Chains A and B, each alone.
Chain A
């Protein structure tokens, strides 16, 4: 089964600083990978996805992620943090099921705090 590991349950950065959220995956086949963001009391919003096209994926709100097969990583970055980026971020891998369809297996999440 596919899995993802997020390193660091809490990350704190200063406003304007680089954001780096780490995600490593385990997959026996080329994976489809996702980053989702969750604001308090809300559902999950898709930030970006990797579906085996370009290895550098650009998403919404200035975020991007690079798929590195050699490192089995899919880290999320943003050059300059904004206060509005404070939220919880989840890395996920798609698991194609024998019955058809997909399910996402999520990491444990990283809470991003942005300080003035």
Chain B
């Protein structure tokens, strides 16, 4: 079974630009979550999508948004990039259980210059 696939793996943007990251979950997984990982703040929850609806959201500004498609694939977008948005963005998928186990992709490393 293929794992969680994230594209692109690496990208470089400049301040003020926007970026879109893509995530394909494990087949059969309908929940997709996004996390931001930085050296200073660690791993922080961005949002979670289930059945094309944002079910939960972390404490990030509105510049961070996402969506989920009918095939459960998800995208996240960051507009008006800031230097502090440089991070590893991790996508995770899960089955509809209550244990909370997440399966992570390898991440998209964003560098903002």
> Does B102 contact A101, Cβ atoms closer than 8 Å?
no
B103 within 8 A of A: yes
Main secondary structure of the interface of B (DSSP, over half): strand
> Does B101 contact A46, Cβ atoms closer than 8 Å?
yes
- Residue of B4, B43, B94 near A90 (CB, 8 A) is B43
Number of contacts between A and B (CB, 8 Å)?
A: 72
> Does B45 contact A104, Cβ atoms closer than 8 Å?
yes
A45 within 8 A of B: yes
Task: Specify the chain A residue showing the minimal Cβ separation from B94.
Answer: A102
We find that the number of chain B residues with CB closer than 8 angstroms to chain A is 26
Main secondary structure of the interface of A (DSSP, over half): strand
Name the distance in Å between B36's Cβ and chain A's nearest Cβ: 11
A12 within 8 A of B: no
- Residue of A32, A41, A100, A107 near B100 (CB, 8 A) is A32
**CB contact list, A63-116 vs B, under 8 A:** 90, 94-97, 99-109
Given contacts A32-B100, A103-B33, contact A43 B4 (CB under 8 A): yes
Specify which chain B residues have a CB less than 8 angstroms from the CB of A41 in the assembled complex: 106, 109
A: contact size bracket: 20 to 34
> Does A101 contact B56, Cβ atoms closer than 8 Å?
yes
Cα-based distance from A51 to B48 in the complex (angstroms): 21
> Does B48 contact A43, Cβ atoms closer than 8 Å?
no
Contacts from B to A (Cβ < 8 Å): 4, 6, 31, 33, 42-43, 45, 48, 50, 55-56, 58, 90, 92, 94, 98-107, 109
Contacts from A to B (Cβ < 8 Å): 32, 34, 36, 41-46, 49, 51, 90, 94-97, 99-109
